[in-house]
Chains A and B, each alone.
Chain A
Amino acid sequence: MDSNKMKKTLTPYGYLAPTLILMMILLVVPIIMVIRYSMYNNVIAEKNPVFVGFANYATVLSSKDFWNAIKHTLYFVIVSIIAHMLIGMIFALILNTNYLGTRTKGIFRAIYALPWMFTASVIAITWRMILDPNGVLNYLIQLFHISDTQITFLASRDIALRSVTLINIWSGYPFYMISILAGLQGISTDLYEASALDGANEVQTFFRITIPQLKPILISLIMLDFVWTLQQFALIWMTTGGGPVNATETVSTWIYKQGFTKFQYSMASTGAVILLILCTIIGIFYVRHQLAED
């Protein structure tokens, strides 16, 4: 190869070099490390860890606490996704009707998008205040005689998981709303006119035109939300810390506690690899879906 040709072949790698180096050191290497950690008895804490193969996986997968965490995570994820979808869809439809002027729509779009602007710790602390036994929600509940006793939303084992899910629903629906709204605005009016000519009513039009047209967006939303909610840590950590007595323990708080309060880094790594596998599976479907659309 002459030097000019060689330069030409090497140029793209030059442009990619910073990305490649960074991804190698901070992505590929750590993933190999975490898989390796998951196959040793206690790493980091122990000077000379011993290779144990898949023994940690057997321990984690037969642990009642871990399965409880999986159960809570699934509840948290599935209820969040359904509620996000419903609220997002309703708000998007309202913001897309011709009953409201453009200005009004703009104002309400900004109001409805509000929860999007706040970071997890702000959301956590604000809701902790609202849901406090002496907080404003309990005041309203007693004012309207819904319950005569104070409800300990975050400190009761029976309802803490539901409360945390509610907070996550509040913080996550705007993404659906805005994405669905963009999708609605992209549907051609011809389709609606044709449907009206066929004598379809609004409900029929919604299920025959709107939903099928939105389908690719809805599928993307569900998959993205699944991956994001599955690994939600900050919100749960700062509202309940996984408690009371594991009532809101999810896979990510379980991993964090194994590592940073129990110093069982191998167990934490094993949980982390299991979570990574779950996310990768969904990730593959997401990539395929996105590619199929192009």
Chain B
Amino acid sequence: MIGRKKPLVKVLIIVLLILGTFWAGFPVLWMLSNSFKGNAEMFANPPALITKNFSFSAYGKIFANPEQVRFFINSYVISAIVVVLTLFIGIMAAYAFSRFSFKGKGVINTVIVAVQAVPPITLLIPYLSLIVSLKIFNTYGALVLTYLVFTLPYCILMVTGYLNTMPKDLDEAVMIDGGSRWTALWKILIPSAIPGLVSVGMYTFMQAWNEYLFALTLTKTNDMRTVPVGINLLMGQHAYEWNQMMAMSVLGSLPILVLFLFFQKYFIAGMTAGAVKS
């Protein structure tokens, strides 16, 4: 907006900035602050933001407990596999949508768009019997396969969009030189779509890292649990280890925070694609 700056508006903006910072930031700050406290001071009156007994002991306890370290390993491994498979399978499907016309294209496309509206809890009960009969209950496979259903549609739609912006001459040039479509896709098209793929990959990672419902119901033993379920388990087992739960929350949020800080542009592009058309 153009024009003069009004001092009154400036004051209003500063007030809103402070209120907004408190609203958005305080819960996060409180989580961080409590992860450094002793458990006895958690509900001290008056509460302190920085405790006199500042210590990393809650973090130490988590790293010293193999069961809890395992939650992190599980989450990283599952999310990484989901990202790789989603990109691989999704890029192939996107190539078909972008470069060919074929029977059933419209129907398949509609199904893929529609999946995004299917609530995971709808599929939960059939999944339970399917996953058990496929003999993959309580394995990484159960989570990877079910996560793919919800990560693929977004990936396919986004990558189809990127590929559509690239001229078909590129593929044809490769094929005239004796290369196959497969080489054209992976050697020529994909390398120039990397920035977009980073956004898609981050969004996919976040979906997999945050998933709770399937992780809760399709795994059973603690060695298969992921971070979101693990944090909650800590609450059930030792109801009063608040500082450890906070430390685990901080550690469990780190990967996403790091992705956001270092790749803010891609992160935002990926997250807002559903609502904003560029």
Contacts and interface: CB of A to CB of B under 8 A. Distances in A.
Contacts of B213: 233-234
A193 B90 CA distance: 44
A192 interface: yes
Interface in A164-201: 170, 174-175, 178-179, 182-183, 186, 189, 192-193, 196
A108 B21 contact: yes
B274 interface: yes
Contacts of A279: 117-119, 122
Contact of B272 (A13, A175, A238): A175
Nearest to A118: B253
B52 interface: no
A27 interface: yes
B249 to A, nearest CB: 4
Interface string A22-35: 11011101110110
B130 A31 contact: no
A117 interface: yes
Contacts of B93: 15-16, 18-19
A158 interface: no
A261 to B, nearest CB: 12
B271 interface: yes
Interface in B133-149: 145-146, 148-149
Nearest to B276: A182
Contacts, number: 274
Contacts of B111: 23, 27
B168 to A, nearest CB: 14
Interface string A108-134: 101111111111111111110110101
Contacts of B196: none
A282 interface: yes
A189 B210 CA distance: 39
A142 to B, nearest CB: 9
Contact residues on B (Cβ < 8 Å of other chain), bracket: 35 or more
Instruction: Tell me the dominant secondary structure on chain B's binding face.
Output: helix
Given A99-B9, A275-B119, A108 B17 contact: yes
Interface stretch (B22-30, B60-68, B187-195): B22-30
Given A11-B181, A217-B275, A283-B116, A125 B1 contact: no
Contacts of A123: 27
A273 B235 CA distance: 32
Contact of A22 (B20, B34, B145, B242): B145
A262 B124 CA distance: 15
Contacts of A39: none
Contacts of A259: 124-125
B263 interface: no
A211 interface: no
A175 to B, nearest CB: 7
Contacts of A193: 2
B84 interface: no
A57 B185 CA distance: 49
A98 B1 CA distance: 7
A233 B121 CA distance: 8
Given A120-B228, A234-B228, A34 B242 contact: no
B56 interface: no
A58 B231 CA distance: 39
B95 interface: yes
Contacts of B45: 134, 139
8 contacts: A12-B100, A23-B152, A27-B111, A33-B130, A111-B24, A119-B252, A119-B253, A125-B235
Which 8 A-B residue pairings sit nearest by Cβ, starting from the closest?
A: A283-B117, A30-B126, A231-B119, A12-B100, A33-B126, A15-B96, A134-B43, A234-B212
Given A126-B30, A189-B2, 19 more contacts: A13-B102, A19-B92, A90-B20, A91-B20, A108-B17, A113-B24, A119-B228, A126-B27, A126-B246, A129-B242, A193-B2, A255-B121, A255-B124, A269-B125, A275-B119, A276-B122, A279-B117, A280-B114, A280-B118
